[in-house]
Amino acid sequence: MARLNVNGAVREFEIEPDTPLLWVLREQLGLTGTKYGCGIAQCGACTVHIDGVPTRSCVRPVSTVDASAKVVTIEGLSRDGSHPVQKAWAALDVPQCGYCQSGMIMAATALLKDKPNPTDADIDAAMTNICRCGTYNRVRAAIKVVAAGGDVKRAGLDIVHIARADANGGAA
């Protein structure tokens, strides 16, 4: 019986030792917020934290994760979406399809913990996740908002939300 500390709880499960951590999280533990994207650690949809380090779980054999290591998934970041990165993501409408966003949020959270006021170069170096919808500018903006304490104006962003018009010309 294998054991992992996931989102603050020790969980036991039966699995082959070479099974990627991603599949243990999704299939054995029912934590489906971490996504499968490429299976070769390139896209980042599978990013989780292991002892605070962003890790691509699709290629990490579960047997290489020490039972005492603390694994945090998107579900463990906050139960109600109240983490500052999640709040910035929502405020700036970062996701489009949303598939890659749990991995993006986990990567951004690790970046901001390591560098609370990251430069553009820091963001470029840390945010290597792939987003097919191309939300990179909004990801960068959300990271800057969190670094500025959640204040869009202090972050130096000029974001204007424009209401859509309905069929009668009014706001939708």
pLDDT digits (tens, 9 = 90+) for 96-146: 999 999 999 999 999 999 999 999 999 999 999 999 999 999 999 999 999
Tell the residue number behind the tokens 């820091």, with chain if given.
122
Q: How confident is the model over 53-74, as a mean pLDDT? A: 98
Q: Containing H/E element for 10?
A: strand 9-13
Describe the chain by its helix, strand, coil percentages, rounded to 5. 35, 15, 55
Which pLDDT score, from 0 to 100, does residue 150 have?
Answer: 85
CATH topology of domain 79-172: DNA polymerase; domain 1 (1.10.150)
Q: What is the three-class DSSP state of 157?
A: coil
12-16, 58-62, 91-95, 167-171: range with lowest mean pLDDT: 167-171
Asked if 142 and 150 count as a contact pair (C-beta separation under 8 A), the reply is no
Q: What is the pTM of this model?
A: 0.88
Considering the chain, what percentage of its residues have pLDDT values greater than 90? 85
Which pLDDT score, from 0 to 100, does residue 125 have?
Answer: 97
| Domain range annotation of the chain | 2-77, 79-172
Asked if 18 and 58 count as a contact pair (C-beta separation under 8 A), the reply is no
Which pLDDT score, from 0 to 100, does residue 18 have?
Answer: 97
Asked if 66 and 26 count as a contact pair (C-beta separation under 8 A), the reply is no
- Whether residue 166 is predicted with pLDDT greater than 80 in this model: the reply is no
Tokens describing residue 158? 């000029």
Q: Give the whole-angstrom CA distance, residue 59 versus residue 41.
A: 6
Which pLDDT score, from 0 to 100, does residue 162 have?
Answer: 63
Task: Give the confidence band of 93 by pLDDT, cuts at 50, 70, 90.
Answer: very high
For 2-77, CATH number out of 3.40.1380.10, 3.10.20.30, 3.30.1330.10, 3.40.309.10 equals 3.10.20.30
